[in-house]
Structure 1
């Protein structure tokens, strides 16, 4: 059964869980960087440009003592849900299970495709995904599109939206980690100066929190998301979202009120670490703070750094970029976009009542490393997210329903078969010749 296959996936080697995949003469498998997996399934029509399905097999830590209802690495079934770290982020057993079933049926694809499973996505994919990219580059591979984790099917999550929406990520926000530090001569707490290193740094951090990055709603891919979803809202939101050329500033002010929607509006600023002091009676000579920023598509990394410097406005505060990168390019999502339309068709074939729209990933995935191999990267998995499910992501009681796991397998199976068409049909035109 599909459920037993999932249990196998979490407890046995992939070779045991997917024997047909690993024994088929059609599938070429190799280990990359010791732990990542790369599969190549050649198509019967080699002139068709291949694509790549991407996932990762590493997970963030989890402990039963955190309050899980089931041991976090047990894949235990409770009330038709499978509990376990990695069930939604993002071991993606559905991809290999779909290929297993297709091979058993004797299926041979017309369009060749790759499957990449990185082993260190949760720590930026520098060894796994980047090594897979290097292998493909050495072989001169060019990809029609890449599909990775990212967005999902949201049901009851977007306030005011009637019905579920499948958001296909066409870009990701950029990211930066900045270290702020203040260095002074140490002193005794009985004779404190007017300002300490902690006080100066705390004031700088406070200015960053009180002066968020500019509101940029409507200037990036998020505008297309709301335009596609407009017809599923009631008045007056339908009117506002259908006329974002006029109402973008108004909607931006509404969205910035909540942390989860504020992420669509601007580059977010989060002070995540603050270190200072070694003894209660010593004025510390050094205070440090780390700030994590997720960069809106309408800004660059350098623009964000300049704004931080301007907002801090104190030469005593040293700013250092620890690491960072610009927002990712925006992939195509129009009627002629092969990858987007194939994913959209597969979603609608399975879930006819779902509204499909392009979206923006506020987090980052392994797919960003593949931008030199393709013009189009999409971030989506048909995982259903209902209210409260987002907190399970990297949190307690991560789970997937048995039904949704089956849907994942069917989705990837259908997607692989849908990709066999040579080209998309011509878009329907509303213009009629007389």
Structure 2
């Protein structure tokens, strides 16, 4: 008996010792990983040789001129109201305006321009070395509706200046990029610049209503001509300054993917009746219960299975302890961080496929039990989910044969573009950002909304969504909201960004990892 107790005690000590050693090794490994993240900070551009690019210095006269043109663009109400209604008069006016605003772009022998689907634009800029694979800069002309009565501090199409900001619909979505790209090209051409790598500029006119007319016709045209692209750069993510709690300093997030999207209709149909003799369950009651089940049972938490993991690992060194320790070791702490992120709506979007009930329709008269009740559910699909998996989840969660589940429209999440050291597009964008803003941290990210760029996935495997628009706390809500604005300084920075990006793209290939020389 005594021997068995001794053996049991020895066995217990071995288990405790093994557990202690395992925990110690895990902690040591995690600590080393946390500390090692600081080693490469500040060396992000060490292997790039100093650039010989043309510098852009904007004098006061040019500044007044470029701001005047930007304001004129903002005052043209190129609104997309719905899939069936756009302000075509304003879109025609915008075509005329662009020709007047950028005469060198439209007259240069290096630039071929064509209208697509009446209001969209495709520019091809010829390169001197046709063996270099071209790229595409995307932006869109149309804007969402806006009414001054919603609470705007200035009329939404006035382009009024206040405290160094220009207020107008389209300042950040997306006329800043439309005008910034063309203004950058205008300045380059005026300085006699001829690119080595050819490129395209695509300006869609219906992005806010899915781009089925503008972007998709541009894609068809390029496919017919056999165009393949090195990368695509569109709107999407931005520079966040003070937006992410606990982060030390601003960060530039370059979108490497977009969540998928789906609109699903739930409906209940039954015989109508009089309200004086109601049935035990009505169409509205059955549907409301189904909707409640969807809201009470969110899609599974998937943090760590998509590009959001790379985002937080890239940002880890900019957080203080204990967040730095946790984010440096997501191989161990992903479930913990996922639980924290799901607590707030804005970060919950990184964790899972989100479910939003956006429309509910039923009834025509107060004393009639309606025969039909309908609800529309909008879902933004996580990168680790598929559209079919989401539909199956909804069907299982609703769990009522009386509720019909129909897909209105939808698509899978977009492929994840490369962001490693050999990723040409990502590294060129990153270099351009850090040349301008050396103290920024650059990280890959994911767009929770959708852009025209998703239509171009057959033309390039690398699609990026970024513009150096600065967002401070509260600014994100201006996107599609009231008081959309951009600072005059930030708009000028966008022009410089595209001016430098076009020149940086002229390299033949990236430098070898960890080397220190380069043709730039």
The reply on whether 1:334 has 2:398 as its aligned counterpart is: no
Alignment match of 1:256 (pick from 342, 361, 371): 342
The reply on whether 1:27 has 2:111 as its aligned counterpart is: yes
1:217-257 deviation line (CA, Å, top 9, x unaligned): 00000000000000000000000000101100100000001
The reply on whether 1:352 has 2:444 as its aligned counterpart is: no
Partner residue, 2:495: 409
Alignment match of 1:281 (pick from 353, 363, 367): 367
Q: What SS does the corresponding residue of 1:280 show, helix, strand or coil?
A: coil
The reply on whether 1:14 has 2:78 as its aligned counterpart is: no
Higher helix share: 2
The reply on whether 1:68 has 2:132 as its aligned counterpart is: no
- Shift, 1:6, TM fit: 1.2
Partner residue, 2:233: 147
The reply on whether 1:318 has 2:440 as its aligned counterpart is: no
The reply on whether 1:126 has 2:212 as its aligned counterpart is: yes
Alignment match of 1:364 (pick from 450, 453, 461): 450
Partner residue, 2:203: 117
1:178-236 deviation line (CA, Å, top 9, x unaligned): 00000010111111111000000000000000000000000000000000000000000
Alignment match of 1:5 (pick from 51, 58, 69): 69
The reply on whether 1:398 has 2:462 as its aligned counterpart is: no
Higher mean alpha-carbon deviation, 74-83 vs 246-255, is at 74-83
- Shift, 1:9, TM fit: 3.0
> Contact between 2:74 and 2:169, CA under 8 Å: does it hold in 1?
no
Question: Within 5 A, what are the aligned runs for 1:87-102?
Answer: 87-91=171-175, 92=177, 93-102=179-188
> Contact between 2:74 and 2:171, CA under 8 Å: does it hold in 1?
no
Q: What SS does the corresponding residue of 2:267 show, helix, strand or coil?
A: strand
Q: What SS does the corresponding residue of 2:385 show, helix, strand or coil?
A: coil
1:429/1:251 Cα in 2 relative to 1: closer, same or farther (>3 Å)? Answer: farther
- Aligned equivalents of 1:226 and 1:178: distance in 2? 31
Partner residue, 1:216: 302
> Contact between 1:183 and 1:285, CA under 8 Å: does it hold in 2?
yes
- Shift, 1:25, TM fit: 1.5
- Shift, 1:65, TM fit: 1.8
Partner residue, 1:40: 124
- Aligned equivalents of 2:117 and 2:152: distance in 1? 33
> Contact between 1:9 and 1:17, CA under 8 Å: does it hold in 2?
no
Partner residue, 1:418: 504
Gaps of 5+ in 1: none
1:429/1:46 Cα in 2 relative to 1: closer, same or farther (>3 Å)? Answer: closer
Q: What SS does the corresponding residue of 1:379 show, helix, strand or coil?
A: strand
- Aligned equivalents of 2:271 and 2:383: distance in 1? 41
Alignment match of 2:358 (pick from 272, 283, 287): 272
- Aligned equivalents of 2:270 and 2:439: distance in 1? 62
Query: What is the root-mean-square deviation of aligned Cα atoms in Å?
Result: 1.0
Q: When the two structures are aligned, how many residues end up with a matched partner?
A: 430
Alignment match of 2:275 (pick from 189, 192, 206): 189
- Shift, 1:22, TM fit: 1.1
- Aligned equivalents of 1:10 and 1:19: distance in 2? 19
Gaps of 5+ in 2: 1-62, 76-93
> Contact between 1:167 and 1:358, CA under 8 Å: does it hold in 2?
yes
- Shift, 1:138, TM fit: 0.6
Partner residue, 2:462: 376
Q: TM-score, normalised by structure 2?
A: 0.82
Q: What SS does the corresponding residue of 2:183 show, helix, strand or coil?
A: helix
- Aligned equivalents of 1:76 and 1:104: distance in 2? 29
The reply on whether 1:241 has 2:327 as its aligned counterpart is: yes
From the CA coordinates, give the structure whose radius of gyration is larger: 2
Q: What SS does the corresponding residue of 2:425 show, helix, strand or coil?
A: helix
1:294-320 deviation line (CA, Å, top 9, x unaligned): 000000000000000000000000000
- Aligned equivalents of 1:169 and 1:391: distance in 2? 19
Alignment match of 1:166 (pick from 227, 252, 258): 252
Q: What SS does the corresponding residue of 2:394 show, helix, strand or coil?
A: helix
> Contact between 1:150 and 1:379, CA under 8 Å: does it hold in 2?
yes
- Aligned equivalents of 1:9 and 1:180: distance in 2? 41
The reply on whether 1:56 has 2:120 as its aligned counterpart is: no
- Shift, 1:429, TM fit: 7.0
- Aligned equivalents of 2:126 and 2:341: distance in 1? 46
- Aligned equivalents of 1:190 and 1:9: distance in 2? 59
> Contact between 2:122 and 2:203, CA under 8 Å: does it hold in 1?
yes
